Structure 1
């Protein structure tokens, strides 16, 4: 599923001209994500690639995010993926309430830059999460993009009115179909 992220109208930035994302559920219980950023990528503040470890606070700088929720549930998961290959996963009982670390194995992240395009790919094993394997999930994809001059832009499939808030119901804008059985 290829999707286009929209800039927040109050914080669009000027270095990025577009962000596309792909999300795919595999029959093995994995989620494959790809984010493609186009524009003046050399103007973006990208942390250097390092050891892939769980790290909090990634959303304070350039970070790609995915939000997953089962149908008819208030509980959801937030996944943060940094260009450095650091990552985080959280579980919430409801809108910004009951936050705790989600127990998932290490996340494989790869990144590349080619001219005016930056691409990050991530593979996540979600079998330990409390999400139904046979049902579609509600999906929110987003990105915080920091430019070298410190300005940030906020991108998502959809934005609520007012402040950028990727946890908001409006941001769970797509349905991610169940994987086809092997």
Structure 2
């Protein structure tokens, strides 16, 4: 994971978790517009409840368990939400405004892989340019929902803009990614 493009996520104060020490995300947008993400969950794999591996496919409701997410602004109102499960499943949702979901026309899928170590879990994602809005820079929110072994959940983001976790708030899209 490149330290230069690595960003630490903060646990929402309403959902503290003693079993996770840190969540970091490396994000790199290449010259072709593809986005590579590496979510590093600094916890022993036994501390996290990870979904069982499944064939890569669209699945709804992934945020109900351990799930890494990406929010990308399309314009002043519209945005796209990506969900990446350690199972290998994924979801993409489009919104016309705050939580106003609209139909998505998705023709390609992100690529997801999971690497487990003694003190961390890494979820690696490659998002093809065709899934991202065009332009020289992307305004994004990096987030994660982590389910502990006991079933409790914690909510991690670059910034939290409300008293309760809410990744859809535009104020949490705090990172600008530019093509390298």
Q: TM-score, normalised by structure 1?
A: 0.91
What is the 5 A alignment of 1:1-182? 1-70=5-74, 73-129=76-132, 131-133=133-135, 135-177=136-178, 179-180=179-180
Answer yes or no: is the 8 Å Cα contact 1:16–1:41 preserved in 2: no
Answer yes or no: is the 8 Å Cα contact 2:93–2:101 preserved in 1: no
Q: Deviations over 1:69-91 (max 9, x none)?
A: 14x52111100000000000111
* Number of aligned positions between the proteins: 176
Superposed displacement of residue 148, structure 1: 1.5
Q: TM-score, normalised by structure 2?
A: 0.92
| Long gaps (5+) in structure 2 | none
Answer yes or no: is the 8 Å Cα contact 1:15–1:41 preserved in 2: no
Superposed displacement of residue 100, structure 1: 2.6
Q: Deviations over 1:97-143 (max 9, x none)?
A: 133335141221111111011001011113254x223x211110000
Moved more, 98-107 or 2-11: 98-107
| Long gaps (5+) in structure 1 | none
Superposed displacement of residue 8, structure 1: 0.2
Change (3 A) 1:141 1:7: same
